[in-house]
Structure 1
Amino acid sequence: MDAMPRQTSVLAVLSLVFGILGWTLLPGLGAIVAVVTGHIARAEIRRTPQTLEGDGLAIAGLVLGWLGIVLGIVLVALMLLVFGGLAWLSAWA
């Protein structure tokens, strides 16, 4: 008896696509969508492993998404430190 081929999770593919978009055309928004769809895809794949695959795609989207979010937070913190420090220095001048 032939086993039915597993289908790739659409949400896993979306997670990877938005993870890439988060680094190119849609910084911020793409990263958030990648993380959300990646987590949903992994849960969906775990619930029905006999019919769905694409866990690696979902993980790649999650990694790209989380890295984009962390990098964005770090950049905002650095900007606040630099410009806040400049404002503090100019107040003393």
Structure 2
Amino acid sequence: MTARTSRTHPLAVLAMLMAIAGWTVLPVIGSLMALRCAQAAARAIARDPAFDDGEGLLGVAVLLAWAALIAGALAATALAVWTLASR
């Protein structure tokens, strides 16, 4: 009897790394790449039964990516309003 191990898709891991990069070193590009990698990983996980793990990782990556994009948009808006109000 062989033990079945769960495998996480590499794109799910990459999506998580890009979501973290979206908060640190690549604010917009990292978040957009995370969303794209998460979409591709979700399709690959649904298609290939060998990769049965990674949905939770994808959920967190998507959440982090969207939160970084929204936080960036709010910061840019606040900066614009503050700059225009100080004139």
TM-score by length of 2: 0.85
The structure in which a higher percent of residues are strand is 1
Distance 2:20 2:61 in 1: 8
Q: Decide which moves more: 61-70 or 17-26.
A: 17-26
Which stretches in structure 1 are left out of the alignment for 5+ residues?
Answer: 88-93
Question: What are the residue-to-residue correspondences of 1:11-90 with 2, within 5 Å?
Answer: 11-48=11-48, 50-52=49-51, 53-87=53-87
Amino acid at match of 2:62: L
Amino acid at match of 1:11: L
Contact 1:5 1:51 in 2 (8 A): no
**Aligned residue pairs: how many?**
86
Which stretches in structure 2 are left out of the alignment for 5+ residues?
Answer: none
User: What CA deviation, in whole Å up to 9, does each residue of 1:49-77 have, x standing for no partner?
Assistant: x2112111111111111100010011111
Percentage of matched positions with identical amino acids = 28
Amino acid at match of 1:47: R
User: What CA deviation, in whole Å up to 9, does each residue of 1:22-54 have, x standing for no partner?
Assistant: 112221211111111112111221222x21121
Q: Which has the larger radius of gyration?
A: 1
Instruction: Give RMSD over aligned pairs.
Output: 1.7
TM-score by length of 1: 0.80
Stretches (4+) displaced over 4 A: 1-4
